[in-house]
Structure 1
Amino acid sequence: MSITPAAAINQLIVAKFGGTSVADYAAMCRSADIVITNPHTKIVLISACSGVTNLLVALANGISDITSRQQHLQQLTNIHQQILDQLQHPNTVSDAIYALLDDIASAATQAATKPSPQLTDQLVSHGELLSTHLFNQILVEMNAAAIRFDIRTVMRTDAQFGKAIPQPEIIRQLAQQHLIPLLATHVVVSQGFIGSDSQGNTTTLGRGGSDYSAALIAEATDATTLEIWTDVPGMYTTDPRITTAAKPIKEISFSEASEMANFGAKILHPSTLVPAVRQQIPVFVGSSKAPQQGGTWIRKTVDQAPLFRALALRGNQTMVTLTSLNMFHAYGFLAEVFRILAEHKISVDLITTSEVSVSLTLDQTDTGGGAPTLPLAAVEQLNQLCRVDIEQGLSLVALIGNRMSNSKGSAKHIFGALDAYNLRLICYGASPHNLCFLVDEADAKSVVSTLHQQLLE
């Protein structure tokens, strides 16, 4: 039996397990073992089984071909049936599983003729509803006092289907009322990613929102630790798939980890750390496949804060350059640009300016899509103000560290290593924790590998 890294910390632990950690019966058993080993783990939030959300999204988008639709539904049935067949007492949860699969089939038929954001959230939420039935039963069969809880009872959001915004104060009130009383006698198993609006309609927090859900629940219940269990043993100095020289990070600050998540490190959802920072809740990231390997602790302060900590890479970037001679020694130009962007709900990520032009990148809010784009109506409005040039096929490289803008000679080390590459946009100095630049997508991995070798090895 493995030892949970947070075992030395008493009080309340909220643990979140991602899709690969509950992919099948064996994965669920490993994750359940982690829960049972630490008596302080009292709230467990899990994702849908690996691959399930993608199938549900495809169905929610509308599959008019009946044969194709049935194939998707059969794949969903097979994933859950294989786990069900290995339970000691499958009949305990089989009725609930089959009822949810029937609901999916019905909603998929409706989506084939009339898809909608609200129906999509309703349909996609079934992944977590299914996995929690199975995971809870495994815990019970391992003699844990586990109880399944519908997180929609407490995870209150607005009604922006697909990317709902949580309401932390209401979540805290509801958690104190409905969730906290269960913890004295039970391990509570519930869903990540999903919530409900004030009318009881199911909502989702967007792809990757399970981490965010766990952080919100940790905040609402005054947890002492948040554990994120995934398929890798913590955070690395860069993606190990880019360079085998990537090294595990044992400890990292909230500020550094937030930058890494925001700029493309896929271990954490970018919003995850916001509730943890508000309540100063330490976060542990580890592998459910090999918990004995340890992982990464994310805390407010750390013992070592190196100048260069890690590199993150985010693809599918769009750069928009706005040029107008009217900018020269004028005021109000940028205000008008951002008014137009706000009108079309366009979020800006990076920005640099000169006397007559401004270049910016568009924030990628939909993690399931390609490069973000400017709506045609926004382009038409901006064209009345200035010339608009849109460039895609770019990647963002972010160097994460500490006191970078205050360290003499750091820029020489960085840019000296990049002589062979064309840098399209550079953002430096706004934060002491990052230096960001855009490069051609074809060069991105080579740039990361080169910088890692020069600065981190």
Structure 2
Amino acid sequence: MPSVVYKFGGTSLGSAECIQKVCDIIYADEPSFVVLSAIAGVTDMLESFYASSAQERLSLLRDLQKKHEAIVRDLNVPFPVSSWISRLFPYVNQQHLSVADRANILALGEDIAVSLVKAVCRSRSLNIQSLEARDVILTDDNYSRATPDLSLMRRSWKDRQLSANTSYIIQGFIGASQAGETTILGRGGSDYTAALIAEICNASEVRIYTDVSGVYTMDPKVVENAQRIPELSFEEMQNLARFGAKVLYPPMLSPCMRAGIPIFVTSTFHSTQEGTWIYAIEREESLEPKITALSLRQNQSLCSIDFSSLDQGMDELVYKLHSLGIFPELITTQNHTCSFILDNEGSSSEKLQSLQHALSTFRVVRLHHDMALITIVGSGLSCPKVMSTMMEGLHLQVAPLFCSQSSKVLSFAVMSSCAESIIAQLHNDFVKQDI
């Protein structure tokens, strides 16, 4: 019988009631593998712990302990919260924590979640065993955004004696270098873990459990009348995830695409099992423009640089930007001017200042912060009338400051302050309709 991989995110583990619901699903379905994120809010608390002073860290330790103790009390299972939290004690008074320390600190959230859910499942006589992520997700030594080594993982997997009649529970988000040191896959990396496990065990399906019943035409928190999409191609989901849709972590799609494994996104909390299937679909190229879904990415910067003085033109410009740690997206050029988007999500004001300093070595034509990137995914979007029709419908007097257009993806930048109202109107006017 083919393996099935289930993944439960942090919102699915946010309370005792949520955890009981997760255990109900595991008990009913007996999936081959269960991948877990940290309990909702815990990774953020651990990030704060890493970045704080000693006094603040002690306060955060108490908060972490209280948060987990409250859930354990409501679950009514024996669980050593204090013992787990004590693993952070060695870091409290350290002034300079390394990136390796950060990986160890952040991994604690997933370690606790797996141990706790396993304890609840065991209390219900479910045959479930732990599978240590550090023994399975083998990576390079980039502690903050590790790259999995698939050949090593496959060799390691072949040596495992796993029972077909047992469910295995594993931490998402974390792995280990060849030296055995903890690494992390990046925020949202639990999705990636599930996809990697599915690829190496040749699973028939990856099921992502979250707090919404699938992928929607736009984030329902921004657009109330967003509609659930029954199915998407890998390419469509890749474009949505890349440009702001939070429902899936973009790198998770690659393993599933390589192995041809379908993904089903559904809700932990709605028993109807409605959701969105994501798999390889060959769609006919539409001549008429159609919008499948929209996404929004806030906290962007728009930069335009004159590269006419550079001997090797654009190639030299991109090389210099990369050497400064600047990774432009959606590059467009016109008359020796290069325009691009920079994603500043999670960036501090200090990081933005260093970005501005780095860019000062170039002939910057313009630099706008507080921008948002609106992306439309569909077909026939390179048609010239698409942008003009939308502008007319939005009553925009001037064109957006930046636009990148292809047949399947159209992205444009607007001021953050008006982005949500623009995307809501676009959704109401054009989604599922011919433009």
Tell me which residue corresponds to 1:311: 294
Tell me which residue corresponds to 1:79: 67
- How far the C-alpha of 1:233 sits from its partner, in A, is 0.8
Separation in 2, partners of 1:200, 1:400: 41
Conserved? CA contact 2:45–2:60, under 8 Å:
yes
Tell me which residue corresponds to 1:214: 194
- Map residues 170-181 of structure 1 onto 2, 5 A cutoff: 170-178=152-160, 181=161
1:369 aligns with 2:359: no
Tell me which residue corresponds to 2:35: 45
- Map residues 347-362 of structure 1 onto 2, 5 A cutoff: 347-362=327-342
Separation in 2, partners of 1:107, 1:304: 56
- How far the C-alpha of 1:22 sits from its partner, in A, is 1.0
- Map residues 443-454 of structure 1 onto 2, 5 A cutoff: 443-454=418-429
1:266 aligns with 2:246: yes
RMSD of aligned C-alpha atoms?
A: 2.3
Change over 3 Å in CA distance of 1:167–1:418 after alignment to 2: farther
- How far the C-alpha of 1:227 sits from its partner, in A, is 0.8
The count of aligned residue pairs is 426
Separation in 2, partners of 1:189, 1:454: 45
1:441 aligns with 2:416: yes
Tell me which residue corresponds to 2:127: 145
Separation in 1, partners of 2:168, 2:331: 44
> Structure 1 unaligned runs (5+)?
1-9
| Matching residue within 383, 389, 392 for 1:416 | 392
Give the alignment's TM-score, normalised by structure 1: 0.87
Q: Secondary structure at the match of 2:84?
A: helix
Q: Secondary structure at the match of 1:16?
A: strand
Change over 3 Å in CA distance of 1:362–1:183 after alignment to 2: farther
User: Which residue identity lines up with residue 242 of structure 2 in the other structure?
Assistant: N
Separation in 2, partners of 1:16, 1:51: 17
Q: Structure 1 stretch 252-261 or stretch 29-38: which is displaced more? A: 29-38
Structure 1 residues 151-183: Cα deviation after superposition (integer angstroms, max 9, x where no partner):
0111111122211222222222223323xx324
1:33 aligns with 2:24: yes
Separation in 2, partners of 1:344, 1:24: 43
| Matching residue within 90, 93, 98 for 1:106 | 90
- How far the C-alpha of 1:21 sits from its partner, in A, is 0.5
Change over 3 Å in CA distance of 1:302–1:15 after alignment to 2: farther
- Map residues 318-337 of structure 1 onto 2, 5 A cutoff: 318-326=301-309, 332-337=312-317
> Structure 2 unaligned runs (5+)?
none
Separation in 1, partners of 2:409, 2:21: 37
- How far the C-alpha of 1:250 sits from its partner, in A, is 1.1
Tell me which residue corresponds to 2:212: 232
Separation in 1, partners of 2:137, 2:265: 23
Separation in 2, partners of 1:246, 1:87: 35
Give the alignment's TM-score, normalised by structure 2: 0.91
- How far the C-alpha of 1:324 sits from its partner, in A, is 4.6
Tell me which residue corresponds to 1:391: 368
User: Which residue identity lines up with residue 84 of structure 1 in the other structure?
Assistant: V
Tell me which residue corresponds to 1:154: 136
Separation in 2, partners of 1:85, 1:288: 22
Change over 3 Å in CA distance of 1:248–1:370 after alignment to 2: farther
Structure 1 residues 58-94: Cα deviation after superposition (integer angstroms, max 9, x where no partner):
1111323x2x32221111112222233345551xx42
Percent identity of paired positions between Structure 1 and Structure 2: 29
Separation in 1, partners of 2:137, 2:397: 46
- How far the C-alpha of 1:377 sits from its partner, in A, is 6.6
